[in-house]
Structure 1
Amino acid sequence: MSVKAKWDIFCAVVDNFGDIGVTWRLARQLVAEHGQPVRLWVDDLETFARLCPAASAHDQQQTIDGVEVRHWSKTWPGAEPADVVIEAFACNLPQAYINAMAASGRRVLWLNLEYLSAEDWIIGCHALPSLQANGLQKYFFFPGFEADTGGLIRESDLMQRRARFQADPLQQAEFLAALGVERQPEARLLSLFAYENPAVAGWLDALAGDTRLNQLLVPEGRVLGDVAAWLGMPSVQAGDHYQRGSLQISIVPFMTQDEYDLLLWSCDFNAVRGEESFIRAQWAGRPLVWHIYPQEDDAHWDKLNAFLDLYVHGLPPAAEQALRGFWRAWNAGEGAGDAWSVLLSEYPALLGRAEGWTHEQVANGDLAGKLVFFYADWLRAVHG
């Protein structure tokens, strides 16, 4: 039984759609599945409106899917602090809001929702308190891939919806038709959503030279420049279709979160980036490659390898080597064509592992549920 509390979630949009994508899913799930009143504070309403077409980029206050969405502007409008306050991805709460928490005389649970990582130290740091100078206590909450972490965002009916969709060719065909795409018999269907990446050219070469037809769906995003360069075009845009050898490329419009799930579920292989699409591709139960956000000190390689160390568990050695090889080439920006050929030879084992991984993650619990349970446990401890 959920303990009802008021929630404030703060999101600063710093990495395209990743931060707002995660927080918007979380806010919706807290309302829909746990009956929690939620305010989502967003500093970039234009980006939010692209992700959620029902939203206005101009309204300072609006309610969508039961979530109160507020514009978090430089001029703080003032608001009574909620019972649970989530500072998403170290976005730094307004000082006036922190002062109001300290002066409220109430026990407020302050959570720093961290970025996703599979590194070993996450388990030891998850749910640790941090006493602040003003007497408030902040807790670090880490999403993750193991039971002793905060888990991943997953709606309660997600796996059932995915299973129904993937078992229904007609529903898949209708979805693709809405994108202007018709899946060809025996064709391999792939999606590409990545940061700018020089590895893309070698991969497209391999797809074009394949003996099997490949249909590649590319949603609008940062990787379009690489696709255009490979095609020898000055630019590409949604609605464009191209064919080179055995490769058909369809540029598809930017999608809502629910539409993007359907895209991932439709494909045999998904290239994804960042955190939001990375999580959703895992729930698709299909082999994938992750373009991790590069960091100047190369710390992203530690994060990438930490995830692979968990994900490859139980794979035959050849399949593990093939997967590591392609992910390494993809993120290094070279050698993706040769590595892709090796990966394809291990596809059946990788497909089985992708589905098995989803069951393991379901068993770990989901982020929204773990947040609600954490608050209930904290509340019991506070009141003895």
Structure 2
Amino acid sequence: MQWDIFCKVIDNHGDLGVCWRLASQLATAGERVRLWIDDASALGWMAPSGQSGVRVIDWLDTAAVQSAAAEPAPDVLIEAFGCEPAPELIATFAEASANGGPRRAWINLEYLSAEPYVERLHGLPSPVFKGPGAGLTKRFFYPGFTPATGGLLREPDLMERRARFDRRQWLQERQIPWRDGERLVSLFCYEPGALAALLGQLAADPVPTRLLVTAGRAARAVQACISSQNGLMPASGGRNALSISYLPYLTQPDFDHLLWACDLNFVRGEDSLVRALWAGAPLVWQIYPQDDDAHHVKLEAWLDWLGAPPSLRLFHHAWNGFGNAPLPALETHGLWRETALAARTRLLAQDDLLAQLRHLVAGKS
């Protein structure tokens, strides 16, 4: 079948990351995919080799839109995260749907959440009453963490590749210095207010830590903290246990490898959260902040699903700026690790997102 996925880049490549993984998995499964994107520049480092079966189209290119509108309509139209496809393309899709033939599906792919409404709304129809798509019906597709939702993206061989991964070899190939006994922590974040406290905590910790900082906002935030504090020596003047390695932009497979290599992963947004869950290591999530603090409710719902122990919950509160609570001590073993592994086991027992999406499109749910 022909699948059209529409994606608008809103925040630092996260939406594109999800859509590219979905497009790639569809193509690997034998489907034809057109990925419509308003800013595909991040694919230059995220997926430099592209993906056979995936055609990337700039939907800001008027000529490309007109050309595609003259082609046969897709069998499946996916509107990712509330973006609106070009009216010409919706009109082509609507005309093809009205003329009979194979069943076509219009899917509204929503953001990931653990809130209770996701289970209630997943799969529900949404009639279209105006515009070129009037008379058609979209279906809501909600990714999620429970069997009553659309699940999470997961490649069929993901756990096999995870089991074969050689941390030492990957670090050597990446020329990342690391010695036995040194804790590895990845940092992919926005600009958390507790970042300086984290760096200070790691610097003063008796366990040596190598912090692997991702390119972009995380690297700039760390550098700003170090600059403002004239370094990171512990307040007592003791030994600095923190070493920092700044990473280049990573391809999606290499970002997965980073998470697999680390003893603790700090992630942000949606795509990296899912990949950290599959990694099975302790993780701390910085949720995308919203002006009305709606993200507080969303984070609490996820912590409830996770079964987060009190120490992990309090750390998330401080990391995400809930009140003025100090940053608790972090853990890389014990309850945090047990919690991460238990969550992954529950998720692996459920159907992945692509399987459920194809099931919905086929009209079997």
Do the structures match in fold with TM over 0.5?
Answer: yes
What residue number does 1:112 align with? 108
What residue number does 1:223 align with? 218
| SS in structure 2 of the partner of residue 289 of structure 1 | strand
The Cα shift of 1:338 comes to: 4.0
The Cα shift of 1:93 comes to: 1.2
- CA shift in 2, pair 1:67/1:51, >3 Å: same
The Cα shift of 1:74 comes to: 5.0
The Cα shift of 1:335 comes to: 6.5
The 2-side partners of 1:129 and 1:175 are apart by 46
Percent of aligned pairs with the same amino acid: 44
The 1-side partners of 2:123 and 2:289 are apart by 27
TM-score, scaled relative to structure 1: 0.85
Does 1:81 pair with 2:73?
A: yes
The Cα shift of 1:231 comes to: 1.9
The 1-side partners of 2:207 and 2:11 are apart by 36
| SS in structure 2 of the partner of residue 225 of structure 1 | helix
Question: Which amino acid in 2 is paired with 1:28?
Answer: S
- CA shift in 2, pair 1:178/1:336, >3 Å: farther
Question: Which amino acid in 2 is paired with 1:365?
Answer: D
Does 1:20 pair with 2:22?
A: no
The 2-side partners of 1:333 and 1:197 are apart by 11
What residue number does 1:270 align with? 265
| SS in structure 1 of the partner of residue 362 of structure 2 | helix
The Cα shift of 1:52 comes to: 1.5
The 2-side partners of 1:47 and 1:148 are apart by 33
Question: Which amino acid in 2 is paired with 1:372?
Answer: R
The 2-side partners of 1:14 and 1:172 are apart by 33
CA contact (8 A) 1:123 1:149 kept: yes
What residue number does 1:58 align with? none
Does 1:283 pair with 2:283?
A: no
CA contact (8 A) 2:318 2:327 kept: no
| SS in structure 1 of the partner of residue 89 of structure 2 | helix
What is the number of residues matched between the two proteins? 346
| SS in structure 1 of the partner of residue 299 of structure 2 | helix
CA contact (8 A) 2:319 2:327 kept: no
The 1-side partners of 2:212 and 2:176 are apart by 9
Does 1:130 pair with 2:122?
A: no
The Cα shift of 1:130 comes to: 0.7
Question: Which amino acid in 1 is paired with 2:362?
Answer: A
The 2-side partners of 1:89 and 1:330 are apart by 26
Q: What are the within-5 Å matches in structure 2 for residues 276-355 of structure 1?
A: 276-312=271-307, 320-332=309-321, 338-339=327-328, 341=329, 343-344=330-331, 347-355=333-341
TM-score, scaled relative to structure 2: 0.90
Gaps of 5+ in 1: 56-63, 166-170, 236-243
What residue number does 2:359 align with? 373
Q: What are the within-5 Å matches in structure 2 for residues 172-211 of structure 1?
A: 172-211=167-206
Q: Give per-residue Cα distances to partners, 1:5-59, cap 9 Å, x unaligned.
A: 2111111111111111001111111121x3111111111121222312235xxxx
The 2-side partners of 1:121 and 1:94 are apart by 29
What residue number does 1:240 align with? none
CA contact (8 A) 2:194 2:327 kept: no
**Stretch of structure 1 that moved more, 15-24 or 70-79:** 70-79
| SS in structure 1 of the partner of residue 35 of structure 2 | strand
Q: What are the within-5 Å matches in structure 2 for residues 248-259 of structure 1?
A: 248-259=243-254
Question: Which amino acid in 2 is paired with 1:276?
Answer: D
Does 1:160 pair with 2:160?
A: yes
Q: Give per-residue Cα distances to partners, 1:209-229, cap 9 Å, x unaligned.
A: 001101100010212232112
Question: Which amino acid in 2 is paired with 1:109?
Answer: A
What residue number does 2:235 align with? none
Question: Which amino acid in 1 is paired with 2:161?
Answer: R
